[in-house]
A and B are shown apart, each in its own frame.
Chain A
């Protein structure tokens, strides 16, 4: 009992071939889209690799680019086969390759599924990398004279302005780090000396944040210094003040940005899988089972699998077992004959 059989007349076969051909060209475009999404994701990771300690994994974008290119190639070939399927002469030269091609397509779909899964799972890795990278970024904010880190200040400022966030978890992260370089501290000043000496590690800590934490939507000019000292500013209560600086942490902001990007890419890849293969399988089986091979207008049947799902699985398993046994007993021509038997029976 074939799996999901459908009866086909010539007209229906022609319609099916045309529809599947169009679907294949759509899939080529989707393949191009996946490739360009991979490039976009790679560029976005590269842009902010400083925030992630240059430690981020480029596995997902590289895989996406590879899969996009493969998808283009496979679907273009499938479209060509579909285009030729309406002419029995042309189709006869593709017929022997078709089973291999279908197997390749199945393998490719499994790969696509793996990539989609990675898109959803790699978000954890990105989260951890971001946490580590931002902590170091805040630590190196003041090192604008150290080679290799002189642009950390600029990068962090632009990130905080662009993503509307402050600090790692929140703005208090800035209170625990010295973010003013010693070059701009007047060490002869009593206030500065007191503050540095009262700190265990000799750091100049203060309850202030950089200017990039300021919220332009605040009705009053930005208060960056003496944030926890209510009496330092007129009519200011740091417990109730919400609009002065950004309250969100940069780790959360950057993570939500990257996770939404990866979720959309994963969803698109899953859509690609579902758009792919069923049509061509129907077409090939329909053409093979023509009751009268000489008359192109005869009726035929098309299906997804020749037997039911359970039977097909059992068949494949027994063939694999036999292949294993034959390998041990005899090699060479027996293996060859068994392999061809498996393919002709699919």
Chain B
């Protein structure tokens, strides 16, 4: 009793082959889409790798690129086979490969599913990488004269302006590190000496933030220095002031940006999986309908098409038996050879 049996005459077979060929071309475009999404994601990670300590994992975009290429190849091949299926002579040369091709398609779909799952799960390691990278970024903000770190200030400033965020968790992170380089501090000034002397590590800490934290929507000119001192500025209360600097932390901003990107890519991969399943099922129908012709010489005879030749249970037990037989066959052969060797 076959699974989802459908009767086919010549007209229906031709329609089936044409529609499956059409779907295969869409699937090729979907493969190109997956490839380009992987490429885009890789470029976005590369752009901000400084903020992630050059430590970010490129596993997911590389996997997407690889999957996209394979999808293109498989679907082009499937389209060619579908196109040839209308001509019995051409189809005869593809027939032997078709069963293994379909098995390969099923395995590929399972891999695509794993990729989609990874897209949703890779958010978690990214969170840790971002937290670590941003903390180091802020630490090296002042080192504009150290080779290898001289662009950290510019990268961090541009990032804070673009993503509208300040600091790691919030703007107070800037109060805990020295972000003004010693080259621009006047060590002969009493105020500077006092501040450094009063700090355990000898760092010049202040309750100020860089200019890139400023919010342009604020009605008053930006207050970046002496932020917690209400009397330093006219009509200013730092407890109620909300529009002066960005309130959001950069870790949260970057995470929501990359998280949104990965969610979209994961959703698109799931759509591609559904398309791939559809074309695999269609190809199986094409294959089965062309192999069960009532009269093999007459192309206009009727035939049957199915997804599985027997029911799901029977097919499963068949596969298990085959695997056991393969395993036993190996053991018996070894035993036989050993017996022959001992005899001779």
A interface list, Cβ under 8 A from B: 144-145, 150, 153-154, 157-158, 161, 179-181, 183-186, 189, 210-212, 214, 216-217, 219-222, 224, 233-235
* Closest A residue by C-beta to B188: A234
Type the 1/0 row for B142-159, where 1 means its CB is closer than 8 Å to any CB of A: 001100001001100110
Q: B36: shortest Cβ distance to chain A, in Å?
A: 22
Type the 1/0 row for B185-197, where 1 means its CB is closer than 8 Å to any CB of A: 1100100000000
Return chain A residues, CB-CB under 8 Å to B233: 184
Determine whether B210 belongs to the interface, using a CB cutoff of 8 Å to chain A.
yes
A183:B216 contact, CB within 8 angstroms: no
Report 14 cross-chain contacts, Cβ distance below 8 Å, ordered by A residue.
Answer: A144-B220, A158-B216, A180-B221, A185-B234, A186-B234, A211-B211, A212-B216, A216-B154, A216-B158, A216-B161, A220-B144, A221-B179, A221-B210, A234-B189
* Closest A residue by C-beta to B151: A217
Return chain A residues, CB-CB under 8 Å to B118: none
B144:A219 contact, CB within 8 angstroms: yes
B interface list, Cβ under 8 A from A: 144-145, 150, 153-154, 157-158, 161, 179-181, 183-186, 189, 210-212, 214, 216-217, 219-222, 224, 233-235
B184:A210 contact, CB within 8 angstroms: no
Q: A236: shortest Cβ distance to chain B, in Å?
A: 8
Q: A223: shortest Cβ distance to chain B, in Å?
A: 9
B234:A222 contact, CB within 8 angstroms: no
How would you classify the secondary structure of chain A's contact residues: helix, strand, loop or mixed?
loop
B219:A145 contact, CB within 8 angstroms: yes
B235:A154 contact, CB within 8 angstroms: no
* Closest A residue by C-beta to B179: A221
Partner of B153, one of A153, A186, A210, A216: A216
Partner of A161, one of B161, B180, B220: B161
Return chain A residues, CB-CB under 8 Å to B219: 144-145, 150, 153, 181
* Closest A residue by C-beta to B221: A180
Q: A307: shortest Cβ distance to chain B, in Å?
A: 52
* Closest A residue by C-beta to B217: A154
Return chain B residues, CB-CB under 8 Å to A145: 219
B181:A179 contact, CB within 8 angstroms: no
Partner of B184, one of A153, A161, A179, A221: A221
B216:A179 contact, CB within 8 angstroms: no
* Closest B residue by C-beta to A188: B234
* Closest A residue by C-beta to B156: A216
Top 4 A-B pairs, shortest CB-CB distance: A216-B157, A157-B216, A219-B144, A144-B219
A235:B220 contact, CB within 8 angstroms: no
* Closest B residue by C-beta to A212: B216
Q: How far is the CA of A220 from the CA of B216 in the complex (A)?
A: 21
Given contacts A216-B153, A234-B184, contact A161 B221 (CB under 8 A): no
B181:A220 contact, CB within 8 angstroms: yes
Q: B344: shortest Cβ distance to chain A, in Å?
A: 78
Given contacts A216-B161, A221-B180, A221-B210, 19 further A-B contacts (CB under 8 A): A145-B219, A150-B219, A153-B219, A161-B216, A180-B220, A181-B219, A181-B220, A183-B220, A186-B234, A189-B234, A211-B221, A211-B222, A211-B224, A216-B154, A217-B154, A220-B180, A220-B184, A222-B211, A234-B185
Return chain A residues, CB-CB under 8 Å to B222: 210-211
Q: How far is the CA of A221 from the CA of B211 in the complex (A)?
A: 8
Return chain B residues, CB-CB under 8 Å to A224: 211
Q: A189: shortest Cβ distance to chain B, in Å?
A: 8
Partner of A222, one of B150, B186, B210: B210
Return chain B residues, CB-CB under 8 Å to A212: 214, 216
Q: B48: shortest Cβ distance to chain A, in Å?
A: 15
A154:B161 contact, CB within 8 angstroms: no
Partner of A219, one of B153, B212, B220, B235: B153
